Amino acid sequence: NAVIGRYKLSVQSTSSGSSSPASLGTFVLLFNSWSSGDDVFMPNKAECEEYVLEEFGIIFAGNKNRINSFGWNFGQFQGDILNICLSMMDRSLNYRQDPATDVSHRNDPKYVGRVLSAMVNANDDQGVLLGNWSGNYEGGKSPSSWTGSGEILQNWKKSGFKPVRYGQCWVFAAVLTTVLRCLGIPTRTITNFSSAHDADGNLRVDEFYDASGNHLDRAADSIWNFHVWNESWFSRSDLGPSYSGWQVLDATPQEESGGIYQCGPASRNAIKEGDVDLDYDCPFVFAEVNADCMYWNYDSTTGKKTLIFSKSTVIGQSISTKAVGRDDRVDVTNDYKYEEGSTKERDIFKKARKKLGLEDKFDPTAPTRQEIDQKPDISGKFKVSGPLEVGKNLNLILVLANLQSDAKTVHVNMTAWSTVYTRRPVHEIWKDSISVTLSPKEEKQFPIKIPYTEYQQQLTTDNTIQVTALCHVEGGVQVLVQRDITLDNPDIDVQVLGEAKVNKEVDVEVTFTNPIDVEVTDCVLQVEGNDLLRGILEIDVPPLKAGEKSSTKFKLIPFETGPKHLLVNFSCDKFADIKTFKMVNV
């Protein structure tokens, strides 16, 4: 339980009387998950290897219908990273206000985790990364262009500790993983799909749409396609043994906690059991995986809002992390909540509401019982017909079904917007409206085609499009049909030509075929990999005509044996950040 950090070591000889001690140098003390007395003790050795020693990770993204993933170089043992992590502690607000007290708490992983969750974002304390969710990343690097934490941490130090531009949730989480693993705290990244950002703490997320079906950016609440945070493993002497184990930490600046942008540690067991009154920030994390959703129609002229529908099973799906010792996805949703729709899960939700004092309080913004119980006359959904790829036309089918035994007339307003992964609308791409009559119990299909030429200019680096149809049923309640679509980038291929041996050159070939019928320009290949090459390799690739294939070769000289990961990122004017990784056995 000693304080972690850099110690001076000196020796004093008793025989030589009062001579001053001779310095032997310094050493750095870390947390030790192999030691049974340590707060971060992890009994499973394979887990220690993954969550402390592994420098490569896989982060999951996309959306609940289509999960994708990319590699990340945590690089916690690369040159100078330890020094940067230690100086991060010394730049925190706590240290600046009271250095002695701050240092005396550095034996406590709860304290260290919470302080570092604040330091990884730039808010409040000139921390490591500046967040940007606008879709415009001028003046910095787009969040999706990073492939590892090392470059970010080195840039922060080189610039005299000015925040690095720009981060989004997975970048904050990946950097926090690097820093905590470096200091010896077992840590992993977690991706939550359909993640709620409940800004007002009522365990409810409100979304607003206008009569044309446009998703209005007017609520502080939001539902992100995915959100990435961290779990760190340590005991909770403050709460008791049943709350030890995985703890949620989140460095993405979303809401203030104790006056600054930090989040956690929130015990994962406390989240599952609805014990939202326990330290730290459990209500916010509980809402991220459990909030109820309310979809409203908002009339900007009158300011009147009408509930379209509410859902309690949308939020917190396919919660994912990388497997131990393998490059696979593991689903940990059941560690965060009881089965969706089960009575136990609803009981826990009620328990949490009660602990937050939401049960007895009148909420003027809440929908009435009558609004919640209203039943729609029709149902609708968007079906995908055709490939979801950047460069191809987007083909969908709107399916409308009459649930009643009398005919219904429906006026449908449809829109498609490019969004960032937080589902914040950025550019309108397409709109249309139709009026249809549905016979009793009839189902009709309406094909929708959004050509690549219409969405290409508007797409953000997240490749996400939100399609909405607001259906006004004559004499009935409105029905909202929506779908979030993530388009896949084309593939790049990486081949290692020959056997990789320590201190021997080996060739690597990266191939990419331009899948669209126009030339692509400004092509850049970015490559990194611990023990395979030093720093980051950037190669300019000549422009590619329609359908043309490019082949780029470069040399590696590996300097360590074992399984190593090469991370490759290809960008050009029409495709942002096409990523892949290749395992190289040296």
Q: Are 287 and 304 in contact (CB under 8 A)?
A: no
DSSP per residue over 264-283, as a string? --EEHHHHHHT-TTSTTTHH
State yes or no: 151 annotated in a binding site: no
Rounded CA-CA distance 276/253 in Å is 20
Question: What torsion, rounded to 10 degrees, do the Cα atoms 385, 390, 393, 397 define?
Answer: 30
Residue of 169, 263, 282, 471 with catalytic role = 169
Please state, in angstroms and rounded to a whole number, the distance separating the CA atoms of residues 316 and 320: 11
Among the listed residues 197, 227, 472, 565, the single catalytic one is: 227
Cα separation, 552 vs 510, whole angstroms = 5
Question: Is there a binding annotation on residue 292?
Answer: yes
DSSP 361-409: S--TTSPPHHHHH---SEEEEEEE-S--BTTS-EEEEEEEEE-SSS-EE
Instruction: Report the alpha-carbon distance of residue 293 to residue 314 in Å, rounded.
Output: 7
User: Nearest-5° angle of CA 525, CA 528, CA 532?
Assistant: 125
215 counts as catalytic: no
Task: Report whether 6 contacts 28 (CB < 8 A).
Answer: yes
Residues 115 and 258 sit within 8 Å (Cβ to Cβ): no
572 is catalytic: no
Whether the Cβ atoms of residue 260 and residue 93 lie closer than 8 Å to each other? yes
- CA nearest neighbour of 203 among 221, 228, 224: 221
For the question of residue 182 being annotated catalytic, the response is: no
Residue in 250, 281, 484, 531 annotated catalytic: 250
> Rounded to the nearest 5 degrees, what angle is found at the Cα of 363, between the Cα atoms of 360 and 365?
160
* Exposed/middle/buried for residue 259 (C-beta within 10 Å: 0-12, 13-18, 19+): exposed
Q: Which residues are the active-site residues?
A: 169, 227, 250
Tell me the binding residues for Ca(2+): 290, 292, 340, 345
